[in-house]
Each structure stands twice: as C-alpha cells, then as structure tokens.
Structure 1
Amino acid sequence: MSATRVFVARLAGCAVFDPAGDRVGKVRDVLVVYRKSDPPRVVGLIVEIPGKRRVFLSIGRVTSIGAGQVITTGLINIRRFEQRGGEVRVIAEMLGRTVSFNDGSGTAVVDDVAIEEKSEGVWEVGQLFVRRPKPTGSPFAKAPTAFVTWKEVREASAPGQSQPAEQLIATYSELKPADLASTMLDLPEQRRRDVAEELPDDRLATVLEEMPEQAQIEILVALGDERAADVLDHMQPDDAADLIAQLPAERGEHLLELMEPEEADDVRFLLAYPADTAGGLMTPEPIIVSADATVAEGLALIRRHDLPPALGAAVFVTLPPYEPPTGRFLGVVHFQRMLRYPPHERLGTLIDQGLDPVTADTSAAEVSRILASYDLVSVPVVDEKHRLVGVVTIDDVLDYLLPEDWRSHPDDDAERRAAARAALTTGSIPIPGRRAGHGAR
C-alpha cells in the first residue's frame, strides 16, 4: 500500500483504476463493521461505476490508496451494492455523529475518520478528527478540534445512526448535481427529505432536475408549498413544467400562484402545449439578440456561467421585442461561426440560411429527426406569426426519449442508449415507461 492512514472524507470522489491504468469508477463511501471491543474493521469501498451504479469493492482487492486515487487487483464485481445488517457507511452514517469522551471531559462531533492498514489487506478505523462545542461567552471563538483514538471516546447514540443532514451536505458539497441526485436516491426516504430540507433552494433545484419524477414529487410534497414554490422558481422552466404537470391540478395551480410571476408565466406558457410536440419540449429562455448585435456581444452572452451548454451553442436573431414571443424570427448564429469572424461583425450577416425553425405543434418525432439528421444541438420553435417562442435542445429530446426511471435504474444502460440512438435516427418516439409530460393534466 502507498499509504497506511487515509482520511475518509478525502476519499470521496477519488478515481478507482485497474492494474492496467484504466479508470473503472470513483469512491463514494467506505464500509465498516463494528466489533465488540476493537475499532470498526473496514470491509470495503462503495464505488460508483459508469451508469451511476454503486458496487462493492472488497478492501482485500485494493492494492494502493494514495495521491487521490485507488488501484485495485483487477476487475470489479458489477453487482449492485446492497448494505447488509451490521455494515455502516462512514461518510453517510458516521461523520457528524456525536461522541462522548471517556474521561468525562464532554462531547464532540466527528468531522472525519482515518482508516489505517494494520497488516496487508486488513484495515480498521484509527484516529477520529473531532470538533468540540464552541466556548460559551465568546461568539468569535473557534470550536476546538482534536485527534482522538477510537478507544478514547464512545458514541453517544446507537451505532450506524445517521449524522445530521448538514454534515452529509458538507461532505458532498463538491459533487455535480447529477452525482448528488444519485447519492440522495440511495438514501432512505426520510433521510432524503432531511437532506432536501437543508439544501439551498438553487442547489436543490438543480438536483431535482436530475431525479426521476416520482422522487421529485415526493421531495416537493414534503417541502411545503412556500418552499416548493421557491425551489420551482430556480428550476429551468421546462423542468418545472414537467414536474407541475405530474401534480394534481389544484396543487399545481396553487404552486404557480406562489411562484414569482415571471417564472410562473414561463411555466404556464409551456403547460399549454402537449408533451409530444416541440412546444411541450422547448425551453423558453434562449439567447435572443438583434441583427445589429456584434460578435463580441454574442460571445459575451454565451459565456454566462449559469447557461446550460446546449443553450450556449447558438444565439437567435429576431426583431424586437426580444422576449418570447419575440418579433419576427430572423435566424440562428452558431457560436463556432462567431469564432471565425472579428468582434465587430454584425450577427445579422452570419445567420445560418440552411436551418429552418419548427412550429410549436411539430411532433417530437419530427424534432428528433431534424436534430439527428443535421447534427444539431438545438432547433428554434416559432408560432403561427413566425415569432420565436422557444428552443428545443438535444437534452430536452433525450429526457423525453429515455424511460422515466433511467436515472435510478441504469442496469440496462447500454440498451437504453441504443434505444435512444435508434429513436433519434428514426423518429420512433414511443418508448415504454416514458413520462406523461405536460399534456397529462
């Protein structure tokens, strides 16, 4: 082994490689079992492999831990991980728990856990990094910290009890929304709700967008109306519309009334279209510019850090007004074309003359065929007066094509990718199990 002591919180997200140097996944947690008197013994790692599947990697198959990576002896068993009785996840269940000092000097909270190699292939919990309560009467004082051994403290609650939700959130603060969504889906239902309660509105919004609709609804219902409306305000309008469409009509309308008027108007606009049309798939927030705007201005707009990549692939030129429904739609300028011209060039002269918009009632099958046939990232949507009302992006189409549970059950991931490719190529939209969409209400 390249290290004999490793702090578990630093392992989260570390890459796992096979002996040939090929990456096979990333560490999500460490699994231990409690013993009667000795420190807990490490039995293995929980590793996320492609397809968002969590699998078990026995600690005996780990040959090296260090320099931000884990190396294994060979292939990983891809059977989905299932936690057994007596097993405890260190990050999900131990960090943040309260311990009492055996010398009677008080309590502390576990901030991190070090695992140590005692002999080849045998690891156990070694030191704990703990944080005592802040001193009273001194608001600016920092909470004292200490390294202690397992035998110096005792847990103040039953083994395996989950830590406060805020501790789990802090541990996974660097995760991408899709990874945090996958992590939350692995938690028990009540625990998932606790974590959702602690997440900021904007963070929870991006995480919900990555979850299956049933999990979205469960969390939204548990939040209460005021908080739910705040979270919906931060979601992409098309995702918010998809979610509201699954709720009873009365509750959906109530949430729309609680949302910010501008955000609610976008969602209501999308709910007016059937799910299997361009109007039902589109996003009403493309980058819209005048024909007199320059390349420099267009590039500045697509550099916004909060802009999804698919929406940043092009700008859309219209007559005023520049909010959907706009003035007459003039055309699209792709960002790669902008890169080929000087900053002062007018965007009106760079319009792609070969790309025609679709109408809001164009079928989803036809939209998918157009995207696939012309290798497009997005396609503009216009109304009967040729006004721009939105844009359908490739991720909008994929969300529609893939079954509702593709995020939470990736076992047949390869088959689903193949089905999606076939549907994009042939336009054969119906796929069993997909969401009902806006038209369900």
Structure 2
Amino acid sequence: MSTQRVFVARLHGCTVFDPSGDRLGKVRDVVVVYRKSDPPRVIGLVCEIPGRRQVFLSIGRVTSISQGQVITTGLMNVRRFEQRGGEVRVLAELVGRRVDMADGSGNAVIEDVAIERNRIGEWGVTQLFLRRPKTSASPFAKGATTFATWGQVREQHRPGEAQSAEQLVASYSELKPADLANTLLDLPETRMIEVAEELPDDRLADVLEEMPEDEQMHILEQLGDERAADILDQMEPDDAADLLAQLPEGRLQHLLELMEPEEAEDVRTLLQYGPDTAGGLMTPEPIIMSAEATVAEALALIRRHELHPALAAAVFVTLPPYETPTGRLLGVVHFQRMLRYPPHERLGAILDDLEPVQATASATEVARMLASYDLVSLPVVDIAHRLVGVVSVDDVLDYLLPDDWRSYDEEEATGSIPVVRPAPGSGA
C-alpha cells in the first residue's frame, strides 16, 4: 500500500477503482475515530456511488491511495452511510475548526488534514495545515499558514458543536446542486444547518430545489423568516410555491410579504391552481417574444447562462403584452427549428403547430401530451388562450415519481445483499 502522505481536501472527489480498473464511485470524506493519547485513526472513506448514494468504504478494503485515485479490493458496503457515535468526518467536522496551539502562541483554523499509513498498516491523522489569524486590517489580507502535528494543538470545541463552515463550503464548491443536496442530508444536523447558513442565497436555493419538501421546510425554519424569504426569491417560482403550499396559511402569507413583490406575485399565481394541474406544475417565466422578433434575437435569449435547459428549448410567441399572462398565444418555435433558418427570419413565419393545455388540465393529461409528441415543454393557457406559463418535462417527472424518489435505495429495489460494515474497532 502507498505510504505517501495524503491531504483529505485533495482526496475529495478522487475516483475509487476496483482491482480491474472499473470505477466504483468518488471519495466525499474520510471517517476517523478519536483516541486518548494518539492522533485520530482513519477507519474508512465516505464514497458516492452511482445513484448519488453515499456509502462507507472500510480503510481495510483500500489497497492504494495515490494521486487522484483510490484502489480497493473490490468489496464495498453498499448500504447508505450512517455516521455512528464516536465517528468524526474530517471535511464535515474537522476542517474549519478553530484550535489553540499547545505552546501558547495563539490559535488557528484547520484548513486541511493529512493522513498517512504507519508501519503496522494503520492510517491516521499525521499533520494539520493551519491558518493563523490575520494581522492586517485589510479586508483582502489572510493570516499566515503553518503545519502542526495533532499533539501540537488543542481543540477549542469537540466535533458536533458550532463552528465555522467556510472551509467545508469551499470544498463543496464544484458539486452540482443535486450532489450537494445529498451531501448536506448526510451531514449531522447541526453541521448541515451551519453549511446552509454559509451558502450564498442563490446556491442554497438551487440545493433546496433538489431536496424533499420536509427537509426544505426544516432548513428554512432554522434560518429564520428574513433569510427564508431571500432564499424563496431565488428559487424557481413553481418550486417556491410547492414549498409554501405545505405551510400554515399565516406563515405562508408572512413569507410572501417578506419576498420581493414580483417574485411573490408569481408564487401567488401558482398557488391559485391545484398541485396536480398544469397550472400547479408550470413555471410562469417562459421565454416570450413577438412575432416580429428574429431568429438571431431568439437565439441570443436562449444562450443565457442562468436559463434552465428545459426553458431554453423553445420560444413562445404571443400578442402583447409579453409577460404572463400575455396576449393571445400564437405559437411556439423550438430551438432546433431556429437553427434551420437564417438569423434575419421572423419568428412569426416559422411557428410550430403545437396545441397548448389549459391551466386546469390534469398532470396525467400533461404527461400524456409530452410523451405523445416527444416534447421538452408545453405551453399553458387560460380560457382566453393567453399564455400563463409552461410545463417542462422535469416538472412532470417530479410529480409522477414517488415522494421519496430522491432517497431511492438501489439495494432495496434489487434485493442485493451488501457487504456487512465492520465495527470501527475491528480493523477490517
């Protein structure tokens, strides 16, 4: 086995392979246990396998840890990782923790943790990368960095107590919202709230959209009404409406009053419809243009980075006004059709013949139309044929899938028997 020193922050995201070179997953954290006089001992890795499920990989199953990869014996416990008493996750609980220097020279913050294998085959914490408090008043200044062994520091707080989550947020910066949502749900509750508080509003909004509604509500309640309203402003209107619909009427109205007026108005519109109707599933912010607009202008709009891919698949052409509820819907132009025409072509001349659905149409009817015509999105109109929104295929999938689809457990569905996870002290 490799004996090189490995820093955990760099280990995060490394691919895990079996002996044949097949990918098993990616490393998300390192699990250690404390000892009375010696540095913490590594007992395993938290790995993310296909399906975004986090599982435990015993360190005894690891044959090599090298630059950018981890090699295993091929045996992996496929049960969802559940942290046990006495276990500490390095990235989730140690990184970002403030410590005192044993020599009395002050304090520092742990920015990274090095692990290494000793002569008897055990992996343990051997070194800490620390940052001292800054000495300059400049907002851009940073404190000096230094290395220390575990015995040269004293923790101010034990893992699980309140601490800064800045370093952890930085280590998760490259994760997609769905992956970060699963990662947060696997953290201890206190740590999860700390990270949520540290995330920017737009990033947290994206993450909450990937969580079950009960978890969304729990996190928002912990953040307070003012911050909750800011997060709701950043969420897609249909997701915000779904979340608010679960709240008591008094709290719902209070949060709507705290939201930005334009965002709150979109949510109020969606709350008028039943959750199992086209109106309840739609987003009220499709791309809307006039019949006189050109292909070039439409392509420029759908290139916007912040636009959801499903919404960028088509432009909806209406009579004025061009904000929902619009004037009468004239038709739709899909982006592939735009690519077949010169940039100066008017949208009104290349409309697709697509029948919209009424806002009161059932979710089943919407799903049937999307499937029948191989559509990514479908316009929604009121009784006056005015465009009020658009239902995308991901909205319908969210509705049709079971409530617990985000926590779907592959082992229960397949009936596979996982390798039994050894106890922390077994050395397996």
Question: TM exceeds 0.5?
Answer: yes
Indicate how the Cα distance of structure 1 residues 3 and 294 shifts in structure 2: closer, same or farther if over 3 A, else same: farther
Quick check: 2:78–2:411 contact (8 Å CA) kept in 1?
A: no
> Which residue does the alignment assign to 1:32?
32
Shift of residue 236, structure 1, vs aligned partner:
0.4
Indicate how the Cα distance of structure 1 residues 140 and 213 shifts in structure 2: closer, same or farther if over 3 A, else same: closer
> Which residue does the alignment assign to 1:174?
174
> Which residue does the alignment assign to 2:45?
45
> Which residue does the alignment assign to 1:398?
397
Quick check: 2:98–2:108 contact (8 Å CA) kept in 1?
A: yes
Q: How does 1:8-27 map to 2 (within 5 A)?
A: 8-27=8-27
Shift of residue 19, structure 1, vs aligned partner:
2.8
Q: How does 1:154-233 map to 2 (within 5 A)?
A: 154-158=154-158, 161=161, 163-233=163-233
SS of alignment partner, residue 252 of structure 2: helix
**1:43-65 CA deviation, whole Å, 9 max, x = no partner?**
11001112232111112222333
SS of alignment partner, residue 92 of structure 2: helix
Of 149-158 and 337-346, the range deviating more from structure 2: 149-158
**1:314-361 CA deviation, whole Å, 9 max, x = no partner?**
1111111111111111111111122222222222222222x2111111
Indicate how the Cα distance of structure 1 residues 264 and 141 shifts in structure 2: closer, same or farther if over 3 A, else same: closer
> Which residue does the alignment assign to 2:61?
61
Q: Does 1:241 align with 2:257?
A: no
Task: State the one-letter code of the partner of 2:288.
Answer: I
> Which residue does the alignment assign to 1:419?
none
SS of alignment partner, residue 231 of structure 2: helix
Quick check: 1:378–1:393 contact (8 Å CA) kept in 2?
A: yes
Determine the C-alpha separation between the residues in 1 that align with 2:373 and 2:318. 22
Shift of residue 179, structure 1, vs aligned partner:
1.6
Quick check: 1:97–1:162 contact (8 Å CA) kept in 2?
A: no
> Which residue does the alignment assign to 2:406?
407
Q: Does 1:294 align with 2:300?
A: no
Quick check: 2:93–2:191 contact (8 Å CA) kept in 1?
A: no
| TM-score of the superposed pair, with normalisation by structure 1 | 0.88
Structure 2, gaps ≥5 residues long: 415-428
Task: State the one-letter code of the partner of 1:35.
Answer: R
Determine the C-alpha separation between the residues in 2 that align with 1:14 and 1:374. 41
Determine the C-alpha separation between the residues in 1 that align with 2:371 and 2:71. 39
Q: How does 1:8-407 map to 2 (within 5 A)?
A: 8-119=8-119, 122-135=122-135, 141-158=141-158, 161=161, 163-353=163-353, 355-407=354-406
Determine the C-alpha separation between the residues in 2 that align with 1:166 and 1:139. 16
Determine the C-alpha separation between the residues in 1 that align with 2:162 and 2:137. 30
SS of alignment partner, residue 362 of structure 1: coil
Shift of residue 110, structure 1, vs aligned partner:
0.7
CA RMSD of aligned residues (A): 2.1
SS of alignment partner, residue 407 of structure 1: helix
Determine the C-alpha separation between the residues in 1 that align with 2:401 and 2:184. 21
Shift of residue 411, structure 1, vs aligned partner:
4.4
Shift of residue 112, structure 1, vs aligned partner:
0.2
Quick check: 1:109–1:131 contact (8 Å CA) kept in 2?
A: yes
Determine the C-alpha separation between the residues in 2 that align with 1:348 and 1:118. 72
Shift of residue 68, structure 1, vs aligned partner:
2.4
**1:48-95 CA deviation, whole Å, 9 max, x = no partner?**
112232111112222333342322221422012222232211111111
Quick check: 1:92–1:163 contact (8 Å CA) kept in 2?
A: no
Indicate how the Cα distance of structure 1 residues 139 and 209 shifts in structure 2: closer, same or farther if over 3 A, else same: closer
**1:134-156 CA deviation, whole Å, 9 max, x = no partner?**
22667765301011222322323
Determine the C-alpha separation between the residues in 2 that align with 1:172 and 1:325. 39
Shift of residue 264, structure 1, vs aligned partner:
0.9
Shift of residue 283, structure 1, vs aligned partner:
0.7
Identity of aligned residues (%): 74
Shift of residue 3, structure 1, vs aligned partner:
6.6
Of 112-121 and 48-57, the range deviating more from structure 2: 112-121
Quick check: 1:213–1:404 contact (8 Å CA) kept in 2?
A: no
Quick check: 1:93–1:162 contact (8 Å CA) kept in 2?
A: no
Determine the C-alpha separation between the residues in 2 that align with 1:81 and 1:307. 34
Determine the C-alpha separation between the residues in 1 that align with 2:120 and 2:332. 62
SS of alignment partner, residue 118 of structure 2: strand
Shift of residue 225, structure 1, vs aligned partner:
2.0
Shift of residue 160, structure 1, vs aligned partner:
6.2
Of 237-246 and 406-415, the range deviating more from structure 2: 406-415
> Which residue does the alignment assign to 1:4?
4
Task: State the one-letter code of the partner of 2:155.
Answer: E
Determine the C-alpha separation between the residues in 1 that align with 2:64 and 2:351. 55
Structure 1, gaps ≥5 residues long: 416-441
